[in-house]
Chain A
Amino acid sequence: MGLTLAEKVLVNLRFGRTSSARSPGPMRGVAEPARPAVIQRALQIHVVLSATLASTLLGMAERSLELPLFVLLAGVSAFVLTDLLRWIRLNSTVTNLLAGGVLLVLLVRNIIELRGPAQMMGIANILVYMQIVCLFQEKDDRTCWLLALLGLLQVVVAAALGHNVVFAVLLIVYLALAPLTLGFLCVFREVTGSELQGRLRALRSAVSPEGGFRSFLRLTEPLEKQVVRLVRRHVRLVLLTTLIVTVALFFLMPRPRGHGFLGFSRMPVRSVGFTDRVRLGELGRIIENPQEVLRLRLEERSSGERYKTQGPLYLRGAILTQYSRGQWSHPGIWAPASLWPLSPGGSLAQEGLVRQDILIEPLDRPELFCIWPIVAEQANPGVLLDLRKMTLLRSGEYLQSRFRYRLLTPAFHEGQQWIVTPTFTAGEFDTQLRQLPPREGPGAVPTAFALAEEWLRELRLSPDDPYTLARAFERQLRDSGRFTYSLQAQPRDPNLDPVEDFLSRNRRGHCEYFASALVLMLRSVGVPARLVIGYKTEEFNPIGGFYQVRQLHAHTWVEVYLRMDQVPAELRLHGPFWDRAVGAWLRLDPTPPAESSLPSRIYWAMWQWLDWVDFIWRHYVVELDRTRQQEAIYGPISVLAARLWGRLSNVYESIVAAGGEIVARVRGWFTSPIGLALAVLVAAAMLLLVVRLCTLRGIAPWVWTATLFVKKRSPDQLSQYHVTAFYRRLERLLTHWGIARRPSQTPAEWAELAARKLPQQGFSPDVVEVPKEVVEAYYAVRYGRQTLSDEVDRKLHARMDLLEQSQRRTWWSVGREGLAPVWAVLTSMAKNGKRKGSDSR
C-alpha cells in the first residue's frame, strides 16, 4: 500500500521537480541536510485531517455545524497557504499572542456568561480556536504535537457528549488517523532531530575544535515511502487488535450495580415542533427537522414480543382547550401544577395491554409523550403525572439526558390504535371545551360559525349526532380540496384572527390551522372539542422493530368529547376501561396529507439501516448497563455454554458407552507381556526411525525435534544452518570411516586425504571425489559469500547419500569377503561330517 493519490499529487507538486533539480543522485542529504519530504507532507496532511475530524466530532457533540466547517476551512487554508505555498507562517510570538488572547477573552467570557454544560463546551471551543491559530504555524514537531494534543482533548470532550452511531464511526476514523499522525510525527522528529543535533554539533565544533562529530542521514524517496507504508501497517495492526480487545473487554467486563448510563449533562435538543401552547402565525416556514425525539417499541405485555400495528401512531403530549386571538393554551397554565409520581395502576389484570418502551432524547421541554390511555406497570423514576393538564412530565434532573420509561396502554385493538378513547371524567360539563370565539370584534371568527352552519345544512347533519357531525367536518377540511396543507409561511391579515384568515382568505396552512379551525367550528355547533399536540409517526424500522419519532413528526389534532351513548356501537369495546367509562374522546385529524414526494427506496432503506445501526449502537454500547449486559451478553453466553457442555457430555457419554469395550480390550492387551513387549519394540522402532531421519538430514535428533516446535528460521539463519548441515554430515561420515579431520588440517587438505584413502578402503571411484565437492561448496558458501541454493543443497546431499550407500555396500562386501573363508570351512566341515556319518553307517 503506497501513498494515497492526493498525497502523491501533493508531494510531486511541491517536491518532485524541485528535489530532482536540487539533488541529481538518488541520495539526498550528504551535500545538504536531508528533509523528509514525503514523511513531512504525510504528517502535514494527517495533522490537518485529524484536527478537522476532532472538531467535527466536537461539533457533532455540540450539535453545531459551524465549528467543523470553520475548522475545515481553516485547515484547508493552512495547508495551502502555510504548508504548500508557505506564504503565511506565524512565528511563535504572533502565535502566542493570538492563542493567548483567544484563550484569555474566551475564558473570561466563558466563566462569566456560561454555566453548566455550556461552560464545558465553551472551554472545548477554546481548544478549537487555539488549534486554528496553530494550524497557520510552520509544522515542526512541536506544532504538530500540540495540534494532535488539542485534537485529542476535543475528542475527549466530544466523547463525553456525543453518542450517536455516526459519531462512533467518525470516532473510529479519528482513532485511525491519530496514531497515523503520531507515527509520522515520531519518524519526522527522529529524522529531523538527528539533523538538528548534527547541526548543533557542527556549530559547537566551530567554536571548540575538539569533537564535532556528526552523522548524515541517507534519505531517499523510496525509503520514505517504505517508512510511510510501515507506519500504516503498524497502525492497521494496532487499530484492529485494539478494537477487538477493547470490544471484548467492554462487553465482558462486569458492570457496577446501579443505573447504567449517566453521561455528562449536555445541551438539550430544542423542540422545534412541539410547545405547550400554540400561537398561530408565529412560525415562518417550517423546516422538517429529522432530528430524532424518541423511539417507541411496542411489545406484547405477556410475551414481550413485538406488537404489530397498522396505521399511524398518535403520541399525546399536551392538551389545549383555551383559544384567544390565535393562541391556544391551557386554562390552568398559570396555576400551580398538581404533580404526582406515576404509580402502578390497578388494571394490570386486563387482557390486551401493550407495553410502550420509550427512549426519549434530552429536550428542552419536560413533557413526555405516549399513547393514551396509560397504565403504569412499574415505578418509573422521574415520570410525573400532571393531574390538572393530564400530561406526563419528566423530572428536572432527567431533562438533560436520554430518558427511558415504560408504560402500558390498552389503546390498541387488532393492531390499530383506538380512534375513540374511553374516559372516566365527564367532559360535557367542562366549559372550556365549549368556549367560543367572539362573532364580532377583534379576534372574531365569524367564518367558522358560518361555515359550520353551511356544512350542517349542506350535509344535513344534526348536533345531536356529534360523532357523525365531527367526522363530516373532519372530512370537509381534509378531503374537500378547498383547504391545502402547506409548510410555507402564508401571508395573513394582521387585522384578522389567524383561523378566520385561514377559513376566509388564504386556505393554506399547516396542521395547527386545520385543527384550530375544526375545534372552533365544532364548538360553534355545540360539540365539545379540544386541541391535542404531540407526535404522529408512521416511521417504523423493521430491522430494529421500533417506531422512530422525529421533530418533523410533531403534529396537532383534535379530540371531541362524546357521551357513551353517542359513541357508535361498532366502536365500543369491552373491558375494564370501557365498562367504567362515562364518556369517550374521538380523535379527529383534519390535516390533509403533505404533498412531499416520497424518498427513493434506496434512500429509505439506507435510512432504515442507519436507524437500526444507531439503535444497536445506543442499545448495546452507549446504554449498556448491568441489566442489559446480563440480558444481552451473559445470558446468551451462559445458555450457549450450557448447551455446548450438554452436547459435549452427551458425546462423551456416547463415546464411553461405545468405546468402553474397545478400551477395555486394548487395556487388557497392553497388560499382557507380549503386548507390552510389542509396544516397547514399536516405540524403539519409532525412536530409531527419528534418529535415522535426522542422520540422513545431517542434524542432531534433538535439533530436528526442536524444529518441529520452534518457529521458522530467518533466511540468514537458514543459510547458516545449511552451511553447517551438509559439511557436518560429511565430517560425520568420514569420521565414522576413520578419516577424521585433524585440527591442523584445513578442510581442503582433509578432503584430499579422504580422496586418497577412500579408494584404499574399497570405495568406488565415482564417490571418491564427494568430499572435495562438498568442501568446495563449503568454501564457496562460508568464505566466498555465495548463497547455497536449494538445488545445490539437494545435489550435495544426494552425493553424500551415494557415498553413504557405497560405504554400506563396502561394509557388507567386506563382511561377506571376511566371512567367506569361515563359511567355506564351516560348509566343508559339514560336508565332511555328513560323509563320515554315511561312512559309519
Chain B
Amino acid sequence: MNSSVLKNWVKDSAPRWEVSSNASPNGGILSALMNRLAQVRSRFLTHASTRLTRAGVYYVVILLVVATVGVTRQINVMLILAGMLLGPIVYNWRLASSICRSVKIRRLLPGGVCAGDLVVVRLEITNLAARQAICAVRIVDRIIRVRPSGKELREQVAVVVPYLAAGESTALTYEGRFENRGRYRLGPLTVVTQFPFGLVEKRITIPLEDELVVCPRLGKLTPQWRAKRRDPFEATPQRSQRETRQGEEFFGVREWQRGDSLRWIHWRGSAKHGTWVVRQFECPKNQDLAIILDLSTNGIGDQDVEYTIRFAATALEELVRDGGNMVFFGLAGKEQFWIHGPASSSLLRLGLEGLAEAEPAVAESLPDLWTKCLAAIRPAGEVVVLSPRGERVWELLRSSNGKPGLNRVPPSIKVIQVPGPEARELFVDA
C-alpha cells in the first residue's frame, strides 16, 4: 500500500514539485541539462538596448550645434571642439557595452521562506573581463508574484556595483519581506550602466529567472488543540496499533533525500517511479493522521481563506514536529493537492509549498479528496477537516463513505469550522 501511495503522490505532484527534486541524482542530471538549456537560451535571448541619457541628449544637441557652426562658418576651433566632444560619447557607448557584456551574475535564494520573514537575496557578480574593471553598474532585479492569481506584485530592486576589478567577484544583497504567500518569480536581471560619462546608457537583460515559494505565515496552536485532538481519538479502537507494530522491519518507501544512504535505495521502486526512492525502516508510533483543508466553497472571503490556510499550515507543522505518524495532507481547492507519507521535513516542505499556491475552488472537490484520504490512511486513523462549512461537511463525508471498497472501520473525524469560535480557541494567528 505504501508503494502505491508513494506512486500516487509522485504521479500527482511530480510535475508541480519538480523543482524540489534537485538534490536527487536523477534530478542532478536533469537540472544540469536544464541549466545548460537556460544558458543557451540566455545566450540567444539576452536583450540589449542602448539609449542616450537626458544628459546625453543635451550633450549631443550641443555637439551638433558646434559641428554645424564649425562646418558652415568654417571655424576650425569649433570643428576640433566638435571632434573632442564626440570622443567621450563614443567611448561611453563602447565602454558601457563592454562592461555590460563582461558581467556574470548568479542569484542565490534562501530556502524555507514564510510570509513575513526577512528575505535576503544574494547576487554574486563576476567581472569576466581580463583587464577592464567595471564601475557604477546597476543591477535591477524584478520580483513578480506568479501564484496565486489575482494578487499582483511587481517590484524592482536595484543594487549598485561601485567597483569591481577585472576577474574578480563580489556579492551584493538586497532584502525585504514577502507579506503574502505564493510563488514568486525573480528575474530577469537587467544590467544597466552609464559609466564612465553618464551620456549613454547600456542596458542588457539577462534572462536569469528563479522561483521562490513563500509559504504561509505560521501561527500558534493553543493547548486546546492538542486536548481537542486527543479526545475523540482516544476512544477509537487500538487494533491498528497491533497491526502495525513490526519493529525495525521494512516499512515503506519514500523519496530520496539528501543524506540518505545509497544502500537504502529501493531499486525496483525507483525504476517504477522514475525517481529515486529509498526504503524506510522506521516504525510509526501511532496511527495515521490526516488534515484536510476544504477551500471548495464559493463566497469565502480572501481574509478567511488566508486564515484557514495559515491554520492548516500551522497544524501540519505541528503534526510533523510531533513525528512518528503517517500523515495525510489534502487540499480541496482550485487544484486538488494531497500528499501522504511519514512525518518528515520534506513532507512539511511539500505541504507548505502546496498551501503557498492554494486558491479557493470554483467547483466542489472535497468528496473526491475524501475518497483518496480514506484510501490512503489506515483504519482508525485520525482526520481533521478544516472547513468554513462546519458541520455541513459531514453530509459530504458520509456520502463518500458508502462507496464500494471502502467498507471498513471509519476513521475518527474532527471537523473544525474555520473561521469560527472553535478555530479561534485552537489557533492564534501571527
Binding site for B on A (CB under 8 A): 36, 145, 149, 152-153, 155-156, 159-160, 162-163, 167-168, 171, 175, 179, 182-183, 185-187, 189-191, 194, 197, 201, 205, 209-219, 223-224, 226-227, 230-231, 234-235, 237-239, 241-243, 245-247, 249-250, 255-256, 260-264, 621-625, 711-716
Stretch at the interface among B194-202, B274-282, B312-320, B422-430: B194-202
Closest to B91 in A: A238
Q: Which residues of B contact A212 (CB under 8 A)?
A: 176-177
Q: Are B174 and A190 interface neighbours, CB within 8 A?
A: no
Q: Are A234 and B128 interface neighbours, CB within 8 A?
A: no
Stretch at the interface among B3-11, B38-46, B165-173, B384-392: B165-173
Q: Which residues of A contact B78 (CB under 8 A)?
A: 156, 159-160
The 3 closest A-B pairs by CB, nearest first: A242-B87, A246-B83, A213-B176
Closest to B95 in A: A234
Is B361 at the interface (CB under 8 A from chain A)? no
Q: A168-B77, A621-B77 are in contact. Are A179 and B88 (CB under 8 A)?
A: yes
Q: Are B176 and A205 interface neighbours, CB within 8 A?
A: yes
Out of B75, B138, B179, B180, name the residue touching A194 (CB < 8 Å).
Answer: B138
Q: Are B198 and A714 interface neighbours, CB within 8 A?
A: no
Given contacts A210-B153, A210-B178, A230-B196, 6 further A-B contacts (CB under 8 A): A189-B198, A231-B196, A242-B87, A246-B87, A261-B74, A716-B128
Out of B133, B143, B195, B199, name the residue touching A187 (CB < 8 Å).
Answer: B195
Q: Which residues of A contact B58 (CB under 8 A)?
A: 149
Separation of A448 and B81 alpha carbons in the complex (Å) = 60
Q: Are A213 and B76 interface neighbours, CB within 8 A?
A: no
Q: Are B75 and A210 interface neighbours, CB within 8 A?
A: no
Q: Which of B153, B157, B174 lies at the interface centre, i.e. has the most chain A CB atoms within 10 A of its CB?
A: B157
Q: Are B173 and A215 interface neighbours, CB within 8 A?
A: yes
Q: Which residues of B contact A160 (CB under 8 A)?
A: 69, 73, 75, 77-78
Is B17 at the interface (CB under 8 A from chain A)? no
Q: Are A185 and B162 interface neighbours, CB within 8 A?
A: no
Q: Are A223 and B163 interface neighbours, CB within 8 A?
A: yes
Q: 1/0 per position for B48-69, CB-CB distance to A under 8 A?
A: 0000000100110010011001
Q: Are A159 and B175 interface neighbours, CB within 8 A?
A: no
Q: Among residues 113 to 162 in chain B, which have CB atoms less than 8 Å away from a CB atom of chain A?
A: 128-130, 133, 135-136, 138, 143, 153, 155, 157-160, 162
Q: 1/0 per position for B68-109, CB-CB distance to A under 8 A?
A: 010001111111110110111001000100000000000000
Interface of A is mostly: helix
Out of A201, A210, A219, name the residue touching B180 (CB < 8 Å).
Answer: A210
Q: Which residues of A contact B55 (CB under 8 A)?
A: 145, 149, 182
> Min CB distance, B182 to chain A, in Å?
11
> Min CB distance, B61 to chain A, in Å?
10
Q: A205-B176, A211-B153, A262-B73 are in contact. Are A194 and B160 (CB under 8 A)?
A: yes
Q: Which residues of B contact A210 (CB under 8 A)?
A: 153, 178-180
Q: Which of A145, A156, A190, A623 lies at the interface centre, i.e. has the most chain B CB atoms within 10 A of its CB?
A: A190
Closest to B73 in A: A262
Out of A155, A214, A234, name the residue touching B176 (CB < 8 Å).
Answer: A214
Q: Are B162 and A191 interface neighbours, CB within 8 A?
A: yes
> Min CB distance, B200 to chain A, in Å?
10
Q: Which residues of B contact A162 (CB under 8 A)?
A: 77
Q: Which residues of B contact A241 (CB under 8 A)?
A: 87, 91
Q: A187-B136, A205-B176, A261-B75 are in contact. Are A194 and B84 (CB under 8 A)?
A: no
Q: A215-B174, A217-B160 are in contact. Are A261 and B76 (CB under 8 A)?
A: yes
- Some 22 contacts from A to B, beta carbons below 8 A apart, are A149-B58, A160-B78, A162-B77, A163-B77, A167-B77, A183-B195, A186-B194, A186-B197, A205-B177, A214-B157, A218-B172, A223-B163, A234-B95, A238-B196, A242-B87, A242-B88, A246-B83, A246-B84, A260-B76, A264-B73, A622-B77, A624-B76
Q: Which residues of B contact A191 (CB under 8 A)?
A: 136, 160, 162
> Min CB distance, B50 to chain A, in Å?
16
Q: Which residues of B contact A243 (CB under 8 A)?
A: 84, 87
Separation of A218 and B163 alpha carbons in the complex (Å) = 10
> Min CB distance, A671 to chain B, in Å?
48
Q: Are B74 and A213 interface neighbours, CB within 8 A?
A: no
Q: Which residues of B contact A262 (CB under 8 A)?
A: 73-75
Q: Are B62 and A152 interface neighbours, CB within 8 A?
A: yes
Closest to A189 in B: B198
Q: Are B74 and A260 interface neighbours, CB within 8 A?
A: yes
Closest to B55 in A: A145
Q: Which residues of A contact B196 (CB under 8 A)?
A: 179, 182-183, 186, 230-231, 234-235, 238
Separation of A814 and B199 alpha carbons in the complex (Å) = 73
Q: A245-B87, A714-B167 are in contact. Are A156 and B66 (CB under 8 A)?
A: yes
Q: Which residues of B contact A714 (CB under 8 A)?
A: 128-130, 166-167
Q: Which residues of A contact B143 (CB under 8 A)?
A: 211, 213
Q: Are B76 and A621 interface neighbours, CB within 8 A?
A: yes
Q: Are A621 and B80 interface neighbours, CB within 8 A?
A: yes
Separation of A212 and B175 alpha carbons in the complex (Å) = 8
Out of A149, A230, A255, name the residue touching B135 (CB < 8 Å).
Answer: A230
Closest to B151 in A: A210
Q: A159-B78, A245-B83, A246-B83 are in contact. Are A213 and B157 (CB under 8 A)?
A: yes
